[in-house]
Structures are given as C-alpha cells and as structure tokens.
Chains A and B, each alone.
Chain A
Amino acid sequence: MHTALKNKYLSDKLRLNIASLLLIVCIFTLAVSPTMLYAQGTSAGVDIGNKAIVTYSIDGEQQNPIESSPNGNRISGIGGGQQTIFKVDRKIDLSITSNGNTHVSLGETQAELNFVLSNDGNDIQEFLLSPDGTLAGDNFDSSNCKVEITAVTGTPLAGVVLPSYDNIMLSPDQQASISVKCDIPFDNNGQAILTNHESLLSIHAHANKNSDGTTTVEENTPDSANTLDTVFVDSAGTDDAQRDASHSTRAAYIALAPSTETPPTLSINKTIVTVVDPQGGNKAVTGSIVTYKIRVSTAGEGIINDVIITDPTPAEMTYKSGSIKLNNITLTDSIDTDQGEFSTQNNIITINLGNITAGSQQEILLTYVIN
C-alpha cells in the first residue's frame, strides 16, 4: 500500500472507530448507570468488555477489519464482533476498630464507647451492629447496651437518616462513627467492683443486606461470567471468623472508683524488736544495737497507690548500714532498683511500697546503734 493511501485508509479507519466509539459510549451511557472508581476497586456489577480488532491483507490488498467475539467472529467490518464480557462480582469486606477504652464510675448509665466501621467492599451494603457486654474473662458485665450511628464520612446514601440505630447503609470506602452506650452496675452480683476492674464489650458488625434489600449470601454454586456473585473476603475479628461477612472488635469499660462499702484502710505502727548491748545483755547503753519493726497493715478492698514509708534516724542513734529488710528480704542502702534506700545526707530511710492491694500486710525491719 502507498503511504498516501495508507494514511487515507488509516484516517478513514480512525473516523470509523471514532464514530463507532461514540455510538458505543452512547449505548453504554444509556444501558449502565454511572459507575465510580473506589479505593476498594471497581464497583460490583460493572461489565468489563473486551474486543480486539484484526486488520490484514490478502493478495496484497488490505481487507476490512474483523472484530473478535467470545465464540469466534468471521463477519468483516466494524460492528461485526461482540464484546467478551465478564461481570465484576460483589466483594464483601468490612472492618470495625475501637477508639479506645473508657473510664466509668459505678452505677453510671449509658456510658459510651466509640468505634469506626468501614465498608471495604465494592458495593453498597447494609451493616447490622450488635454489642455484647457479657463476655467471660473480665471483672463485671455491662447491660442495656444501645448502638447509635452518629456520623458517616462523605455524603450519606439516599434514605440514610442520622443518627441511625443498629444498622447503617454504607457505600464502598465509606466509614461510620459508632457509639455504644451501656449501663454500668454498682457491683458484680454482690461482689465489689474495684478501681481498674474491667468490663469487656464486643461489637459485632455484619454485612446483612445488599443495596436492593436482598439478604447478603455467599454463592458457592457454579455460575457464569455474566452473573453477579457475592464473595466474602473479610478477615477474622476478635470474636468472629474470617470470610463470614462479619468483623468484630473489643473495648473495655474501666472502673474508676472502688465500691464505698468496703473502703481500703491503712495503719502503721513501729515497735522495738530487740536491744542488744555490748555485753550481750538488753540494756540501752552506748553501743547497744536496737532493731525496730514497722508494720503496715491494710484492710478493705481496692488498691492503695504510692505508699512510701520514711523513718528519720532517731536522735543519739546511728543507722546500721545494710539493715533494711522488707518482708524478711534485705534491701540495699543505695538508690537503685529495689524499694529501700538510706540517705546519708539527711539520715532518712525511705521504703517505697508503691501500689499495694488492700488487705495485705507489709513488715519492715531497721537497725540503729545508740551513740
């Protein structure tokens, strides 16, 4: 073919292609509702078409192009072939995450925990949310839990009214803010709830309905390339399995105040255990070694925080180095990782007991020498 002719042919071909392309675009626009591209991928239900065009010559003469079709096309000319089509299937994927634990006072009504639900699938989906405040393995249970969907990212879908309760319709990539409110008991079936006691709450989100109102079911039966199938691809949550169209996570209510019925108490007393004089007797004379016992007694329930015992060296006495014992274990005098120290600057013994559980007893032994 001459170059000029080839150009002419190509320009004709181009015109043809543009013409048919425009027509195809028109048909496409008429037949298919507008589709959007999401981070989660091409929307469910979109038909992906493919058509190849073959040009060739016979006996040196350029022939009309032939388009492809799924089962083989031999009709020449644009429009002779057919698209080879498959339908993008429905991907069910979701995730729910916690915004953190919350502190509650005993007897508080409708204490709030917050979560974020994300539609990670490629279709509009309705999600059902169910909380469970009665999990095992925690200190107490919450009750009367209510779920409220307070906000969504972007524009809410048509028909979605916020706040919504128990369920929410989300488009692909859309997220919902979930508020769960439960009642906190005063006690755990008669037993005291103490500070830092936890009540676990599990929130379970389930893709239960498709945008057309049908129940979301995974199809396992063989189908064709042109049917819209539903496939579960979600990962396992704290309280659900993978590929079950569900996701779950947990958060905790943490009790702030101990029960007032048995408040913790602390008492301290100091007694002389032994006096040993230089002659082996028990007289308090110069050179006598005096051992004291400090007893820290606690009662009630709860945690007593930051307990520090200080003992200034008595007048006319000198601290006997290396003599601090806590619950019969010798502590060093230096400032280090153990709980005891003796300051040579101000002659004070300090024992840091930290946080102790109410009801426990601590015993400290200290020894001084009479000057």
Chain B
Amino acid sequence: MNTIKTTTTLKIMAALGGIALVSSILMFGTQASAASAQGHLKVTSKVQKMVVINKGGEKSYQFVPAKKVLPGEIIQYNTFFQNISNKPANNINIVNPIPKHTVYLPNSAQGKNTQTVFSVDGGKHYGKAGTLKVRGKDGKWHLAKPSDYTHIQWQYQGSLAPKAKQVVAFRVRLR
C-alpha cells in the first residue's frame, strides 16, 4: 500500500510541477516554484573560480567568487546538503548535470562517504569513471573521455543525521 501511495503522489507531483512551470512562463520569467511542501534537506549550489598561483615554480590554488570568468578558466561547484528534519535521511543521491558550455575536469569529483558515478547519455545510465563507453564517429564504441560526461551522481553512503551537513564538489573548465 505504501508503495502505491508513493507512485501516485509522484504523478500528482508531476502534474503540479508541470502546471507550476507553465504558469511561471506565462508570468514572464518569474522564478519557477513548485507548489510543494518543505523537504527534509536544504540543498545549496555554490560556484567559485579556481585561480592557479605560480610562486617561483611552486603552484598553489585559490578560490575566488565567480565574478570574472573567461573561456578556459576552471570553475568549482560545491553542493551542500543539510538535513533540516528531525529524522535521519538515507539513500541520498546527488545528481548534477555538467553545465552547458563546460567540460568536466578528470578526477575532480569529491565527497566524503560517497561513491561517484558518471553518465555519458544524459543521465539514463551511470557507471564508474573509466568504464563508460561512447560511440565514436566511426560507429565503434570507445572509452568515454571526461569531456563526454553529461552527469555526475554521488551516492552518499550511510545516513545523514538531523542537522548534519555534507558537501560534494566537482570542477569544470569553461569552453
């Protein structure tokens, strides 16, 4: 019974979400907001620019607000998720599409207690880095390059206690 209820709710959610979006378009670009209840998590996405400082051959990195960003520069996204309910949250999955006009930087996805998987087909299928394949122009399947990645998914291991806050991060290069 429980399971059926969930699916039904989702369908209603779908309908509501659609209406909300349509109405937001009619309102000429007012921020889309689903008529949904408060969730159990607070999710924040922050963007920063990574600056490489070369002091006498020794490289260090600095993160500054993404105010001045030019093609070729490196951007770091931090996604914070905090449990704002009074119950532990489980099976937490964070999915982040690689932003348009950017390329994922190899090995840059991070996150405590997470397993990271990637998609090269718009988020339909996920696999570990180095196992994904894409069809080349020659019609053959090749190992996917990080630039082929379309989505990253962090599978958070274990439960997130009430008030606990975690972060996952990744970097991209602006095309």
Which residues of chain A have a CB within 8 Å of any CB of chain B? 1-2, 5, 8-9, 12-17, 19-20, 23, 26-27, 31, 37, 40-42, 46, 48-64, 66-82, 84, 86-89, 91, 122, 222-225, 227, 229, 231, 233
Interface of B is mostly: mixed
| Cβ B174 vs Cβ A20 within 8 A | no
Q: How far is the CA of A51 from the CA of B123 in the complex (A)?
A: 14
B164 CB to closest chain A CB (Å) equals 12
| Contact A91-B70, Cβ < 8 Å, known A23-B21, A58-B40 | yes
* Of A58, A67, A84, A87, the contact of B87 (CB 8 Å cutoff): A58
* Binding-face segment, B51-59, B77-85, B127-135, B140-148: B77-85
Measured between beta carbons, the chain B residues less than 8 angstroms from A27 are: 25, 29
Which residues of chain B have a CB within 8 Å of any CB of chain A? 2-3, 6-7, 9-11, 13-14, 16-18, 20-22, 24-25, 29, 31-34, 36-47, 65-72, 75, 77, 79-82, 84-85, 87-97, 99-102, 123-124, 160, 174-175
| Cβ A17 vs Cβ B123 within 8 A | yes
* Of A1, A2, A12, A48, the contact of B11 (CB 8 Å cutoff): A12
Q: How far is the CA of A173 from the CA of B11 in the complex (A)?
A: 48
CB contacts between A and B, total, < 8 Å? 221
| Cβ A42 vs Cβ B10 within 8 A | no
Q: How far is the CA of A2 from the CA of B44 in the complex (A)?
A: 30
Measured between beta carbons, the chain A residues less than 8 angstroms from B174 are: 41-42, 48, 88
| Cβ B33 vs Cβ A79 within 8 A | yes
B95 CB to closest chain A CB (Å) equals 5
Q: A50-B96, A84-B77 are in contact. List 19 more A-B contacts (CB 8 A).
A: A12-B10, A14-B124, A15-B14, A42-B101, A42-B174, A42-B175, A48-B75, A48-B100, A50-B47, A50-B99, A57-B91, A58-B85, A58-B88, A73-B44, A74-B84, A77-B13, A79-B32, A79-B36, A222-B67
| Cβ A86 vs Cβ B69 within 8 A | yes
| Cβ B90 vs Cβ A52 within 8 A | no
**Nearest chain B residue, comparing its CB with the CB of A31:** B29
Q: How far is the CA of A91 from the CA of B174 in the complex (A)?
A: 13
| Cβ A72 vs Cβ B65 within 8 A | no
